[in-house]
Structures are given as C-alpha cells and as structure tokens.
Amino acid sequence: MIPAPFLLYLGRSADALGIKTSRGLAVFRPEDCVGEFRHDDCPQTLGLPRLSMAEAAAAGARTLVLGIAGPGGKLATELVEDAAAALATGMNVAAGLHERLRDQPSLASLARERGLRLFDVRDPPSDLSVGKGYPRAGRRLLTVGTDCSVGKMYATLALTRGLRERGVRADFRATGQTGILIAGGGVPVDAVVADFISGAIEELAPARDDDGWDLIEGQGSLSHPSFAGVSLGLLHGAQPEALVLCHEPGRPHMRGLPGRALPNLAECLERNLEAAKLTSPRVRAVGICLNTSAMGKEAARRLLVRTEDQLGLPCTDPIAFGVEPIINRLLCSAPSALSMIASH
C-alpha cells in the first residue's frame, strides 16, 4: 500500500481533465490529502492548502502523488525534477503514467539512497492470461462512455456506494490509475499488453457466487479512435449483465482530438450493447450518467429529464443528484438469464 497522507501534484496543468487523478483522491479520499503542489502559473486548484515540498513533508505528507496525465502518459522533465525534490524532502513518490518512475536513473538512485519508494501504479500484473469469454457466475455492471474522462469512475464509485447503502454486496473494480489509487488495487487496463486486455478484466472480476455485484470502471470509449481497442477488450472481459452510459454534455470534441465530434448517445449505447453481446448475450442498459458539473442546477435537471425521455432509461448526475433511479432499475429489472444459468 502507498503510505498516506498524500501531497497532490498539479504542476502547471492548465487542463481540468489533466489533473483528474489528483482530483479523484481529493474527492474520494479527502482524509488522506494534506495539500496540493502547484507551480506559480498553474490555474488549477483542488481547494487544498498550497504547499511546497518542504512544507508538505513538515505537515506529515508521506507520498507525493503525481496525479496528472496527458495522452500517452509521458513523464516530462519537470515531473522528474519535481519528483526528485519530493524525494529530497523525504517523501515517497507515486505516479500512474506509462513511463515509469523507476526507469528514471536519477529518481531510482535518490530513492535508494534515502530509503524511500517509487510507486508505479500503472504496472500491469506480469502473469496475465488471454481472456476466454466463457460464461461465468456473478453479477457485473460496467460503465461505458461517449468519451474519455466523462465521469465513468465517479459513476462507478457512486453506484457501488448506492448498492451498499441498500445492503447489497458490491465491490468497485478499478481499471485506471485514479481508481487504483482510490481503491488500493485494480488493473491498469490501458497498460497491459494488447493480447491480454479481456483476460486482465476476467481476472479483475472473476466468477463470484455470493449474490454480490462487481462494479467495473470503464475506460475510453468505443467511439474514440485512440482507445476503442481498450474499451472493446474491457467490455468483452467484463461480461457485464448491466451497462451504464456516461457522458459529459457540451464537450466540444473528443478528448485530445479537436475536430472529432462526440457520438450520439443512443447510437453509442447501441454499439456498446451490440458489442457486449459477444460474451454477455442478455446484457441490458440500466441508466445514463451525465456529468453536469459545468451546468446550472436547473439546466442540468431539464437535460436529465429530456435525456431520460429520449433514451427511455433512468438518467442522473451521480454526484449532483445521486444514483437512486439507476439502482432502482438495476435491482428491480430481471437479472440476465446468463448470470442465473452460470451461477446455478
């Protein structure tokens, strides 16, 4: 486990989506976050005390979390320098980028000298197998999206809490760096070798027969030209009986791809259901989650109602309005025959 409390890194990130890992920890593990580190020209804040490395160490922070991400997961020079500064004050460093902290000789030797640790959260398990797609017992829900970073992890965490509040066994299954940092475990699915995408998810959410749910965090989007392969393998490996579609209204283009429009919600959901049927023939959609954090409350409410009417599914913003309608649909509609057959 990564030693808490954390100092959350924002660096110079000008992009609200770019700091989503730091923000995820601030939102879901606030008790473990002592402050944020940002350079003078950083327009972002999480509302935490702004601390220098030395101030954070003095305040008890045990790990600097480099909770920022750009496409491709590169480790920029400045990140390495800032990580070195954290080590110099006695903090461990954690990151979830494709490029590994331990592969930076300066950081590796500094950590060794100081007796500190480098945590590369995006390291996939080394002994994965290819997926098989055979029916397995258990109840699984997967969040899918119109795009990257539209709120799939938030929705999955909220749905997990929602089920637990109803007394239903439910486990969040993390597939991305932020989720893994929050949950303390999971599989960084976009970092596994391509052949093992679906196999990694079969291992993350294996057969279970305790009537509990696995709520699996989706990644990317079947409609995203950069990452659709990951999303499809995840969908097949998850073998979900229930899908929840996540979307952020008003986004001007697909994440990282100016000029590329977002897909239509109904079409996107249909594509996901169609593709999911390969391993989960009776998959059904149980709801839509909209991230309305950039909208006024009244406009958000109207949009939720309109979307619900259009798609014929419960539609909510899981953070602003809760997940009750989706939990109701999930628990009150019939489980798939597949899951019943597989579990008996």
Q: Pick out residues in 239-278 that bind its own copies (CB under 8 A).
A: 256-257, 259-260, 275, 278
Buried b (16+ CB within 10 A) or exposed e, 37-58: bbeeebebebebeebebebbbe
Does 191 participate in binding its own copies (rule CB under 8 A)? yes
Whether the CB-CB separation of 320 and 295 falls below 8 Å is answered with no
Taking only Cα atoms into account, the Rg of the chain, rounded to an integer number of angstroms, comes to 20
Is the Cβ of residue 260 or residue 282 nearer to its own copies in the bound state?
A: 260
Span interacting with its own copies, options 112-120, 164-172, 186-194, 315-323, rule CB under 8 A: 186-194
Does 130 participate in binding its own copies (rule CB under 8 A)? yes
Span interacting with its own copies, options 14-22, 105-113, 197-205, 333-341, rule CB under 8 A: 197-205
The residue type of 186 is G
In this structure, what is the dihedral angle of CA atoms 275, 330, 217, 148, given to the nearest 10 degrees? 70
Is the Cβ of residue 129 or residue 293 nearer to its own copies in the bound state?
A: 129
- By CB under 8 A, name the one of 3, 5, 90, 133 that touches its own copies: 133
Q: In this structure, how many other beta carbons lie within 10 angstroms of the beta carbon of residue 212?
A: 14
Does 341 participate in binding its own copies (rule CB under 8 A)? no
Does 76 participate in binding its own copies (rule CB under 8 A)? no
The rounded distance, in Å, linking the Cα atoms of 219 and 182 is 16
Does 223 participate in binding its own copies (rule CB under 8 A)? yes
Does 132 participate in binding its own copies (rule CB under 8 A)? yes
Q: In sequence order, what are the residues at sequence separation of 6 or more whose Cβ sits closer than 8 angstroms to the Cβ of residue 273?
A: 243, 283, 284, 285
- By CB under 8 A, name the one of 90, 229, 322, 335 that touches its own copies: 229
Does 67 participate in binding its own copies (rule CB under 8 A)? no
Helix axis angle, 228-238 to 265-276, nearest 10°: 50
For 290, counting Cβ atoms within 10 Å of its Cβ (0-12 exposed, 13-18 middle, 19+ buried), the class is: buried
Nearest to 331 by CA among 314, 318, 319: 314
What minimum distance in Å lies between the beta carbon of 108 and its own copies?
18
Does 64 participate in binding its own copies (rule CB under 8 A)? no
Q: Pick out residues in 203-222 that bind its own copies (CB under 8 A).
A: 222
Q: In this structure, how many other beta carbons lie within 10 angstroms of the beta carbon of residue 71?
A: 12
Does 228 participate in binding its own copies (rule CB under 8 A)? yes
Does 232 participate in binding its own copies (rule CB under 8 A)? yes
Peptide bond into 263 cis (omega under 30): no
What minimum distance in Å lies between the beta carbon of 184 and its own copies?
22
> Interior CA angle at 295 toward 290 and 299, to 5°?
85
Does 185 participate in binding its own copies (rule CB under 8 A)? no
Is the Cβ of residue 38 or residue 271 nearer to its own copies in the bound state?
A: 271
Total residues contacting its own copies (rule CB under 8 A)? 40
Which residues of the shown chain bind its own copies in the complex (CB under 8 A)?
71-73, 98, 129-134, 189-195, 197-199, 222-223, 225-234, 236, 256-257, 259-260, 275, 278-279
